[in-house]
């Protein structure tokens, strides 16, 4: 009798546990799976052709791409909306593009189907905001900017006290980094909002700058000895320091600096790959790969981001959850490479081919 | 008059001080063939040219002073957040917070990354990258201390000049009336703007390739009334402006590209106007006009 009681208790306990898990199953973590959705060959599509719908129809979800000398727009299902041959350069945005020659004074902005949107004139080169709603002209000597209105006339223009080295145009905000180390933040009408003086570095050049879409944060990589990452946050009418980090880098060229569309993540070239900062908390992280940072894309799934490093023909692609984990690492060999998003998913361009990769939680 | 003199001194003195501070004797031309095809302060449609354009075909571009690499960009190779009219370019920082910019260099000629440059070290090859339609080097000199672009020709060793600058015509504009000024002319009285078609010549070609001037001086009835020196450009109220007088483009050039020499008060009677223009080589051309101002 003494030996039977513990055995019955044991079996009852096991039964209850089994019953508990049967009635209240514990959800296991979902696994992220990357699956190619479609691939399309753009190299064989004739240049400057619209291969898709009529202007204005079905533009929802199309994405711009630039791969080697070709540029254009592709739909979420892989239908090419437009493929064009780059002249000298192409200013490309979500809603329109300007394909221009080396020395031109007259430009035409066209919609993704190639239909004319805007014509304007001047000296220099055009620059479009990512959404295409703002059209600027950079002066030939890189000391001045001019914004063009919907009629092609000058909305405002401004010269800077030194040569511009880096520009970030997001929403209503335009951040300009100068050779003399100062940063100027301008509002919608070109009105100065904030000016940051040069850093105390020995040579205080701005090597890269970025502003968030809502103007809440601005960031720069500047100076030599030391080279410094500075993040400033809006504080009333001014900006105050959110983060200042001395970098071990010695860049003397423009470096890529940018924010995620939701402003939660700042990325910058950090010498070993890419450095990541969460401006609101100051949390940092880094990803290493060989070569220069060649592109980045923020996906609309699980806060994932993709970064690509390029070393000659070798491309290292990392899909990560910033500050958490690396989800995927792939290496390609490609002459031409492009990284973007389509429908919130990954859009890759590799040597004349576009490829959509969907990342899903299963 | 006093104001003009003060204004002149205000921008001439800093340039002289800078010239004294720089190891000027060590400063040499960035290229061997010194063919100037664009001059500092020249009207480039909607802005002043902030440096010097030097032609002479493809040639090595060298550091004019010892310096350190501050920035470089190789067209279509390096990342850029903005289109760059300077094309492939190199910026060197020199002692005294002076920077030199050599632009429109040949793509790929910048060579491997090098941080320290001795005077005479090769920066690259002159080319036609950026907003350029012919092989040349765009050379600028920037003074961080005064936040000014300086005229490189003020500081580079002088080159020989074979041609005098030209004053082709002088116009006097009073209200809606514009009169071509000639000896014996009769002009209305009042406050008048004197406008001139004046330029220098590119030295190496037979056809007309007008270049900008270095200085303009005007006097009326024995009194100096205006002086313009193309010595420095600095930002004022969001505009690159000429000299410490902070003259915006529209105050220096008409929309047709004619030179605005200054304004004079014409009073009835005889008047004598002297206009002198000087090029970068020290050659000067003067025109004098004796005319009658009507009641």
pLDDT, tens digit, 9 for 90 and up, residues A186-237? 999 999 999 998 888 899 999 999 999 999 999 999 999 999 999 999 999 8
Q: Are strands A192-196 and A183-186 parallel, antiparallel or unpaired?
A: antiparallel
Say yes or no for a CB contact (<8 Å) between B71 and A162: no
Residue B44: its chain A contacts at CB < 8 A? 123, 140
Point out which residues pair with B137 in neighbouring strands.
B54
Average pLDDT over residues A34-39: 93
> pLDDT value at position A4?
56
Q: Are strands A266-269 and A257-259 parallel, antiparallel or unpaired?
A: antiparallel
Which of B81, B93, B238 has its CB closest to that of A159?
A: B238
The structure tokens listed for A270 are: 């950090």
Residue A103: its chain B contacts at CB < 8 A? 131-133
Report chain A's mean pLDDT, rounded to a whole number: 91
Tens digit of each residue's pLDDT, chain B (295 residues)? 444 444 444 445 555 555 555 544 458 899 999 999 999 999 988 899 999 999 999 999 999 999 999 999 999 999 999 999 999 999 999 999 999 999 999 999 998 999 999 999 999 999 999 999 899 999 999 999 999 999 999 899 988 777 899 999 999 999 899 999 999 999 999 999 999 999 998 877 777 888 999 999 999 999 999 999 999 999 999 999 999 789 999 999 999 999 999 999 999 999 999 999 999 888 999 999 999 999 8
Calpha distance B30→B55 (Å, rounded) = 11
Residue of B nearest to A101 (CA): B131
Identify the band that residue A55 occupies on the pLDDT scale cut at 50, 70 and 90: very low
| B85/chain A closest Cα distance in angstroms | 4
Say yes or no for a CB contact (<8 Å) between A91 and B79: no
- Is the Cβ–Cβ distance between A232 and A244 less than 8 Å? no
Say yes or no for a CB contact (<8 Å) between B49 and A123: no
The predicted complex's ipTM stands at: 0.89
Q: How far is CA B201 from the centre of its chain?
A: 14
> pLDDT value at position A268?
98
Residue B133: its chain A contacts at CB < 8 A? 102-103
- Is the Cβ–Cβ distance between A76 and A61 less than 8 Å? yes
Q: What is the CB neighbour count within 10 angstroms for residue B286?
A: 11
Task: Give chain A's length.
Answer: 362
- Is the Cβ–Cβ distance between A140 and B48 less than 8 Å? no
The structure tokens listed for B190 are: 């009042």
Which of B71, B91, B147 has its CB closest to that of A161?
A: B147
Residue A90 exposed, middle or buried by CB count within 10 Å (0-12, 13-18, 19+): buried
DSSP assignment of B78-142? S--SS--TT-EEEEEEETTTEEEEEEEEPTTTT-S---EE-TT-EEEEBB--SS-SSSBEEEEEE
> pLDDT value at position B25?
43
Residue A166: its chain B contacts at CB < 8 A? 81-82
- Is the Cβ–Cβ distance between B103 and B148 less than 8 Å? no
Residue of A nearest to B89 (CA): A253
Calpha distance A312→A310 (Å, rounded) = 6
Say yes or no for a CB contact (<8 Å) between B71 and A89: no
Report which DSSP code applies to B157. P
Say yes or no for a CB contact (<8 Å) between B71 and A165: yes
Residue A359: helix, strand or coil by DSSP? strand
- Is the Cβ–Cβ distance between B215 and B227 less than 8 Å? yes
Contacts of residue B18, Cβ cutoff 8 Å, sequence gap at least 6: B96, B98, B143, B145, B146, B150, B155
Give the residue with greater pLDDT, A58 vs A288.
Answer: A288
pLDDT tens digits, A106-147: 999 999 999 999 999 999 999 999 999 999 999 999 999 999
> pLDDT value at position A121?
96
> pLDDT value at position A54?
44
Which of A103, A105, A122 has its CB closest to that of B132?
A: A103
Give the residue with greater pLDDT, A171 vs B202.
Answer: A171
What are the DSSP E strand ranges found in A160-313?
164-170, 173-178, 183-186, 192-196, 203-211, 217-224, 227-235, 238-247, 257-259, 266-269, 273-278, 283-288, 292-298, 305-311
Contacts of residue B99, Cβ cutoff 8 Å, sequence gap at least 6: A179, B70, B91, B92, B93, B141, B142, B144
Residue A90: its chain B contacts at CB < 8 A? none
| A140/chain B closest Cα distance in angstroms | 4
Which of A123, A139, A159 has its CB closest to that of B235?
A: A159
Helix, strand and coil in chain B, % to nearest 5: 10, 45, 45
Which of B44, B73, B142 has its CB closest to that of A254?
A: B73
CA B40 to each of CA A122, B22, B36, B155, B286: distance values in angstroms, whole numbers, following the listed order: 20, 19, 10, 12, 22
Residue B158 exposed, middle or buried by CB count within 10 Å (0-12, 13-18, 19+): exposed
Point out which residues pair with B232 in neighbouring strands.
B150
Give the residue with greater pLDDT, A250 vs A33.
Answer: A250
Residue B9: helix, strand or coil by DSSP? helix
Residue A208: its chain B contacts at CB < 8 A? 81
> pLDDT value at position A20?
80
- Is the Cβ–Cβ distance between B85 and B130 less than 8 Å? yes
Q: How far is CA A23 from the centre of its chain?
A: 46
Say yes or no for a CB contact (<8 Å) between B115 and A168: no
Say yes or no for a CB contact (<8 Å) between A159 and B131: no
Calpha distance A19→A2 (Å, rounded) = 27
Q: What is the CB neighbour count within 10 angstroms for residue B43?
A: 18
Q: Give chain A's largest Cα–Cα span.
A: 102
| B283/chain A closest Cα distance in angstroms | 29
Please state the φ and ψ torsions of residue A165, each to the nearest 5 degrees: -110, -25
**Chains A–B, number of C-beta pairs less than 8 Å apart:** 125
Interface-testing mutation among B69, B85, B239, with chain A (most A C-beta atoms within 10 A): B85
Q: Give chain B's largest Cα–Cα span.
A: 71
> pLDDT value at position B22?
56
> pLDDT value at position B7?
44
Residue B93: its chain A contacts at CB < 8 A? 203
Calpha distance B87→B103 (Å, rounded) = 6
Say yes or no for a CB contact (<8 Å) between B83 and A125: yes
Q: How many CA atoms lie less than 13 Å away from A262 in the CB half-sphere?
A: 13
């Amino acid at each position: 009798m003494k030996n039977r009681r513990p055995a019955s208790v044991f079996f009852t306990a096991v039964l209850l546990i089994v019953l508990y898990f049967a009635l209240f199953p514990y959800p296991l973590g979902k696994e992220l799976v990357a699956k190619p959705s479609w691939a399309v060959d753009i190299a064989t599509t004739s240049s400057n052709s619209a291969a898709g719908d009529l202007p204005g129809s079905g533009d929802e979800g199309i994405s711009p791409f630039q791969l080697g000398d070709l540029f254009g727009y592709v739909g979420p299902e892989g239908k090419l909306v437009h493929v064009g041959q780059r002249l000298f350069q192409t200013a490309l945005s979500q809603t329109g593009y300007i394909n221009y020659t080396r020395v031109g004074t007259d430009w035409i902005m066209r919609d993704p189907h190639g239909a004319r949107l805007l014509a304007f004139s001047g000296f220099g080169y055009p620059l479009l905001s990512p959404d295409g709603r703002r059209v600027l002209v950079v002066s030939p000597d890189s000391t001045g900017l001019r914004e063009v209105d919907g009629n092609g006339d000058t909305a405002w223009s401004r010269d800077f006290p030194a040569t511009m080295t880096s520009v970030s145009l997001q929403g209503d905000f335009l951040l300009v980094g100068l050779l003399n180390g100062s940063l100027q933040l301008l509002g919608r009408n070109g009105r100065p909002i904030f000016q940051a003086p040069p850093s105390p570095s020995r040579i205080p050049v701005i090597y890269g700058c970025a502003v968030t879409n809502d103007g809440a944060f601005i960031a720069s990589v500047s100076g030599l000895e030391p080279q410094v990452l500075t993040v400033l946050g809006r504080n009333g009418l001014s900006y105050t320091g959110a983060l200042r980090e001395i970098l071990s880098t010695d860049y003397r060229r423009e470096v890529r600096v940018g924010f995620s569309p939701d402003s939660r993540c700042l990325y910058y070239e950090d010498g070993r790959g890419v450095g990541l900062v969460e401006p609101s908390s100051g949390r940092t992280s880094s990803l290493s790969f060989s070569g220069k940072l060649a592109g980045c894309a923020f996906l609309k799934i699980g806060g994932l981001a993709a970064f690509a490093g390029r070393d000659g023909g070798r491309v290292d692609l990392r899909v990560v959850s910033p500050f958490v984990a690396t989800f995927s690492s792939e290496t390609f060999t490609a002459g031409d490479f492009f990284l973007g998003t389509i429908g919130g998913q990954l859009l890759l361009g590799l040597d004349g081919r576009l490829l959509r990769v969907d990342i899903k939680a299963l | 008059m006093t104001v003009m003199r003060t204004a002149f001194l205000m921008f001439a003195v800093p340039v002289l001080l800078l010239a004294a501070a720089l190891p000027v004797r060590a400063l040499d031309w960035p290229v061997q063939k010194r063919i100037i095809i664009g001059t500092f302060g020249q009207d480039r449609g909607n802005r002043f040219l902030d440096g010097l354009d030097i032609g002479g075909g493809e040639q090595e571009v060298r550091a004019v002073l010892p310096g350190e690499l501050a920035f470089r960009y190789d067209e279509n190779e390096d990342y850029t957040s903005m289109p760059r009219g300077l094309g492939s370019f190199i910026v060197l920082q020199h002692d005294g917070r002076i920077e030199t910019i050599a632009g429109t260099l040949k793509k790929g000629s910048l060579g491997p990354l090098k941080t320290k440059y001795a005077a005479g070290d090769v920066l690259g090859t002159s080319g036609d990258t950026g907003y350029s339609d012919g092989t040349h080097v765009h050379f600028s000199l920037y003074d961080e201390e005064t936040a000014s672009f300086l005229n490189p020709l003020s500081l580079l060793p002088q080159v020989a000049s074979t041609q005098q600058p030209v004053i082709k015509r002088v116009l006097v504009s009073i209200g809606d009336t514009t009169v071509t000024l000639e000896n014996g002319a009769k002009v209305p009285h009042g406050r008048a703007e004197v406008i001139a078609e004046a330029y220098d010549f590119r030295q190496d070609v037979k056809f007309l390739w007008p270049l900008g001037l270095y200085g303009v001086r005007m006097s009326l009835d024995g009194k100096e009334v205006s002086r313009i020196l193309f010595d420095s450009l600095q930002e004022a109220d969001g505009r690159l402006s000429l000299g410490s007088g902070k003259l915006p483009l529209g105050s220096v050039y008409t929309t047709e590209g004619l030179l605005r020499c200054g304004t004079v008060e014409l009073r009835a009677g005889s008047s004598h106007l002297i206009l002198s223009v000087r090029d970068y080589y020290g050659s000067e051309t003067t025109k004098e006009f004796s005319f009658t101002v009507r009641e």
